[in-house]
Amino acid sequence: GTPAITLRRLFSFYLYINMQCTDGAEVARMKWMPSDELREADEDVSNDELMKFTIILCASLNKFGLSSMLVTEAAETIANLSGVDLRLFDAPNITLFGFTDPKKVLTKEVHLAVPRNPGFDFNKLIQIKKVADGVGWEKEITLQEGTEQIEEIWDSPPLYDGLWQILSWMLVAAVISFLYNVGWQDFLLSMLLGMCAGVLSLWKTLGASFQIVAGFVVGTIAILFHNLVSEVNIFAVSISGVGNAIPGLALTRAFQELAEKQLVSGASQALFAVLQLLSLAYGIIVAAVFWGFFYTVEEYENTPLFQALFPAFMAAGTIGFAINLQVPPKHWWIVFITVSGAGAISLWVTPHVGKLLGPLCGGVVITVISNLYSRLFSPHFAVMPIICGIIMLVPGGYGLRGMFKFAIQDDIDGGVAVMFNALLISTELAVAVILGSIILPPNYRNHHPGAFSFTADWCRRVKDVFPSFLHS
């Protein structure tokens, strides 16, 4: 139409798209150029190996769980080390790269990377970081070798798969049920429901309907068990059974992305988390409404489990989260510390300071511990222990409880209050991660700083705030 013709006459630009498929990723090369340079579209550009390595590295970080902020900082580090001018736009499941002359505004080349089947994999992040360090800092690996090694990492099987994933669902269900202060009947049923949800998660044909189907199956088993076998807290065991699928972490990360001004990534992750939460709630609510015509649907409180079992349940949660996030066994100890810290805050601190202030304090503590770990121990990543600890504090269960009040109990005011608290806690956890990183920045901002170099950073920060005091 007329607008397209006008734009072409104004800018005299053409778009050349050459789609090529690589192992595990689709990469589209888009070259913007004046009409007199159209003949040179098929010619290779300079620094092509650097561009390819940068693209596959950032696409890998995006695919295996790093936030848009961290992917952007990794790209900026590569650009600073190589001396190229790189423009990057990162969003969930897609990354745009622009390479250009620093003196020009428009990028002559734009590359689009679309990783398939994204999911957090700490083991592969460790391997990719070793490759990136070998190329960028240690200069022991060439760009071509680094690209080939990352492609091999893409194709390698996960560290834990199959039955390991089912075990993860069962152990996560166990630790979440313990935090709900349920009884032995509820605990055993939660593990059974976790096993059922884990089996369904391996059924790839369910696709996007997994949350709905899992919620319905878990809700059905909980209601039948409550009425035919032994009385349990239907809501608590249902939430525990689908604990691995609750998107509380995604919702918190979405607010964190928005706080870091990553608007597209944050907004899309928030929408995705809400849709997942609605799908889970819909499945459980449909089961409750359907079986409510035949049986009683209620929240029955059994005698809580002994608090002395706290270490055992935290150990179970550690193994469950470590398997789910593909954490190698030698890093399980930091998972145990963050999970235990978050669990202790949830059980013994939050009841005294309130449900709004407790997660804020817990998030700050977990972030500081994780950032300290990233400074002292290889692979110098803080994101994994932060995720493990924050999962214990996320408000996914609050959101489902609010929807439960809406649909089952007809408590509109109570449902609105619970949903508002869930959104507020998500915002607080995002703020807590930012505050914790201000108190003690993670290692990725200062590569290989040494064991205790954070002391110098801390002193500099204090000196800026209290210069006269330190001078005296």
Q: Could you give the CA distance from residue 348 to residue 137 in angstroms, rounded to a whole number? A: 45
Q: Given this model, what pLDDT does residue 277 score? A: 79
Q: Could you give the CA distance from residue 215 to residue 241 in angstroms, rounded to a whole number? A: 9
- Global pTM reads 0.77
Residue 319 pLDDT more than 90? yes
| 2-16, 202-216, 347-361: segment of lowest average pLDDT | 2-16
| 159-163, 368-372, 414-418: segment of lowest average pLDDT | 414-418
Mean pLDDT of 200-213: 87
Q: For residue 99, what are the CA distances in angstroms to 50, 102, 135, 340, 410?
A: 10, 9, 19, 45, 56
Q: Given this model, what pLDDT does residue 189 score? A: 94
pLDDT digits (tens, 9 = 90+) for 323-336: 999 999 999 999 99
pLDDT digits (tens, 9 = 90+) for 97-116: 777 665 666 666 777 777 77
pLDDT digits (tens, 9 = 90+) for 419-452: 677 777 777 887 888 888 889 887 654 444 333 3
Q: Given this model, what pLDDT does residue 138 score? A: 64
Q: Could you give the CA distance from residue 456 to residue 472 in angstroms, rounded to a whole number? A: 19
C-beta separation of 126 from 150 below 8 A: no
pLDDT digits (tens, 9 = 90+) for 215-255: 999 999 999 999 999 999 888 898 889 888 877 667 667 77
C-beta separation of 371 from 441 below 8 A: yes
Q: For residue 188, what are the CA distances in angstroms to 220, 222, 240, 323?
A: 16, 11, 11, 20
Mean pLDDT of 355-376: 88
More confident call, 264 vs 220: 220
Q: Given this model, what pLDDT does residue 397 score? A: 57
Mean pLDDT of 162-177: 92
Residue 313 pLDDT more than 70? yes
Phi-psi region of 86 (alpha: psi -120 to 50; beta: other; left: phi over 0): beta
Q: If pLDDT is split at 50, 70 and 90, which confidence band does 411 have?
A: low
More confident call, 401 vs 274: 274
Q: Given this model, what pLDDT does residue 217 score? A: 94
Q: Given this model, what pLDDT does residue 180 score? A: 84
Residue 396 pLDDT more than 50? yes
Percent pLDDT > 70 in the chain is 70
Residue 355 pLDDT more than 80? no
Q: Could you give the CA distance from residue 247 to residue 274 in angstroms, rounded to a whole number? A: 8
Q: Given this model, what pLDDT does residue 417 score? A: 66
DSSP lists the bridge partners of residue 28 as 19, 112
